[in-house]
Chain A
Amino acid sequence: MLTGCLAWEFLGRWSGLVFLPPLSAVLVAGWQLLLSGRLLPDLLASLTSLGLGYGLAAMLGVTLGALMGRYRKLEYLLDMQINILLSSPTFIYIPILFAMFGVSRNSQTALILLYALPVIVANTSLGIRSVEPAQLELARSFGASERQLFWVVLLPAALTHIMLGLRTGMARAVKGMIDGEMVIALVGLGAAIVRYGGRFETDKLLALVMVVVLVSVSGTFVVQFIGKRAAGWLARIT
C-alpha cells in the first residue's frame, strides 16, 4: 500500500499529466473541499438517498428473497423479472424512473433501490433454497409450524448467503447512487464529479473518487456490523 502511494506521488510529480496529479495534490484538494464546506452538502445529499434506497432494498429484498426461496410458485412468478434486472445494465431504466418520479430525489432513491434489490433477492432466495431438506424434515418431525420453520431453521442457515447479498447490494447501491447523480448532475457526489471532470480539475475529481471509495468500503462495514448484530438477535429470540 505504501509503495503504491509513493509510486503515485512520484509519477504524478514527474509526468505532469493532467489526469495524474500527485497523491499529495489530491489529498490537499480533498482537504480544501472539506474545509470550504463544498464537500459536506454533496456528501450528505448522496448519503441520505443511499441510506434510504439501500435500507428499503435490504428490507424488501430479504423478505422477497426469503419468500421466493421458500415458495416455488412465488419464485416462478417473479424470477424472470429478477433475472432481467440482474442481466441487463440497470442504467437504462433511468428514463422510466424519470418518467415516474420526475427529476427529483425520489427517482434517485428509486434508482438506488433498483440497483441493489435484485442482488439481494437473488442471494437470499439461493440461500434459503440451499438449506438441506433433511433439516426441514427434522424440524417438521418435531412439529414445527411454518413460522418456526422460517425463523429457527431457514433464516439462520441461509445467513451467509443473505449477508453476501447484502454486502454486494451495498456496492451496487453506491454504484446506483453515483450513476444517478452523474446523470441528474445537480446535487451529490456524482454531480460534483461530473463538474470537476468537465473543468479538468483532476485533483478535486480524484479526491471525490477517494471519498466515494471510502463511502463504499465503510458502507460494506456497516452492513457487516449490522448483520452480525442481527444474527445475534436472531439466535437469542429463537
Chain B
Amino acid sequence: MQANPKFLGVLGDGAAQIDWRWKWGLRLLSLGGMALGWELIGRFWPNLLFPAFSDTVAGLAHLLNQPVLWQALWISNQSLIAGYGLALWIGIPVGLALGHWQRADKAFNIYLSILLVTPISALIPLLISISGLGLTSHVLVVFSFAVPFIVANTRTGVKRIQPEIIDLARSYGATEFQIWFKVLLPAAWPSMLTGLRIALGRAITGMVLSEFFLNAEGLGKLLLEFEGRFEAASVYAVMLIVVAESLILLRLVRALEQRYGRAPNRVVVQ
C-alpha cells in the first residue's frame, strides 16, 4: 500500500503493524506528556484542591508506607470480594437458566435489559432503606453492580450453543445435571469469562460508590480524613491507588481470559 504523501500518512496506516519501538515510545511520550502537563498546571495554577504531579507522587510514596492505607484497602475490598463472589454464585446459575429455559427467558429478559441500562447508583438510596448502612449494604451494592453483566453474558453464552449439541447430549442419555455441567458450562465459558471481566470492573465501581454514599469505612473514611485536613496530595494518591487496583485486577482477569477463555474443542458426553 502506498504511503499517503499528506502529513496524516506519516501517522502510519491503521492496518499495518508498527514497530514495537514506536509503540512503546509513543506510549511513554504520552504518559510523560500527561505527567508534565499535570505538573505545570499544578504549579502555575496553585489550587488547594489540585496538587501537582510531583506532590502527588510524594504523597503516594509516603502513603504506601502507612499501615492505615493497607487496613483501609482490606476493609473496602472485603465488600468487593463478598459482593463479587455473591454475584458469581447467583449470577452464573441464573444466566445459565435464562439461556437454557426459553420460558424463563421470555418472562425475565426484559427486566434484565432494563437493569443493564439503569444507573445502579440510582438504586443505592433504595438499597440503603433495605439494609441500612453497614457492611451488608456495601456487599449488596457491589452485588447489584456486578450481577446484571454476569447474568447477561452467561445467558448469551448459552444462547449461542447450537441446539443440536444439546439434543445430541440428550440422545446419549445425559441427565439434566450432566447437560448443565458438561455441555452448557463449557460451551458458555468464553462469553461467561468476558462477562466476569466486565462485572469485576462494575463491582469495583460499586465498591467505590458504596464508600461514597454509604458508611465510609475503609478507603472512604481515609479519603474523608484527608479531605478534612486539606491534604489534597494524599486524596489524589488514594485515587491513583484505586485506579491501580482496578487496572491490576482487570489485567489479571484478562490474562485468565486469554489463557482459559478458548472454547473447548469437544464437548465430552459420557
Measured CB to CB, the residues of A under 8 A from B are: 1, 3-4, 18-19, 69-81, 84, 87-93, 95-96, 98-100, 128-129, 131, 133, 136-137, 140, 146, 171, 174-175, 177-179, 182-183, 189-190, 193-194, 196-198, 200, 202, 205-206, 208-209, 212-213, 216-217, 220
Partner of A209, one of B10, B14, B30, B123: B123
Q: Are A99 and B246 interface neighbours, CB within 8 A?
A: no
Q: Is B250 an interface residue (CB 8 A)?
A: yes
Interchain CA distance A97-B9 in the complex, whole Å:
35
Q: Are B235 and A79 interface neighbours, CB within 8 A?
A: no
A8 to nearest B CB, angstroms?
Answer: 11
A202 to nearest B CB, angstroms?
Answer: 6
Q: Are B125 and A4 interface neighbours, CB within 8 A?
A: no
Q: Are B34 and A81 interface neighbours, CB within 8 A?
A: yes
Given known pairs A70-B14, A129-B14, the reply for A92 and B126 (CB within 8 Å) is: no
Interface size on B, residues (CB 8 A): 59
Residues of B near A205 (CB, < 8 A) are 125-126
Residues of B near A78 (CB, < 8 A) are 30
Q: A72-B11, A84-B247, A87-B246 are in contact. List 8 more A-B contacts (CB 8 A).
A: A3-B107, A72-B17, A73-B22, A78-B30, A87-B250, A206-B126, A209-B126, A212-B122
CB-nearest residue of chain A to B115: A213
Q: Are A88 and B242 interface neighbours, CB within 8 A?
A: yes
Q: Are B22 and A87 interface neighbours, CB within 8 A?
A: no
- Give the number of residue pairs across the A-B interface with Cβ within 8 Å: 156
CB-nearest residue of chain B to A128: B14
Interchain CA distance A76-B23 in the complex, whole Å:
6
Interchain CA distance A220-B107 in the complex, whole Å:
22
Q: Is B93 an interface residue (CB 8 A)?
A: no
Q: Are B212 and A137 interface neighbours, CB within 8 A?
A: no
Q: Are B6 and A146 interface neighbours, CB within 8 A?
A: yes
Residues of B near A74 (CB, < 8 A) are 11
Residues of B near A96 (CB, < 8 A) are 50
Given known pairs A92-B242, A209-B122, the reply for A79 and B15 (CB within 8 Å) is: no
Q: Is B98 an interface residue (CB 8 A)?
A: no
Render B230-250 as a binary contact track against A, CB cut-off 8 A, 1 for contact.
Answer: 000001100100110011001
Interchain CA distance A100-B125 in the complex, whole Å:
28
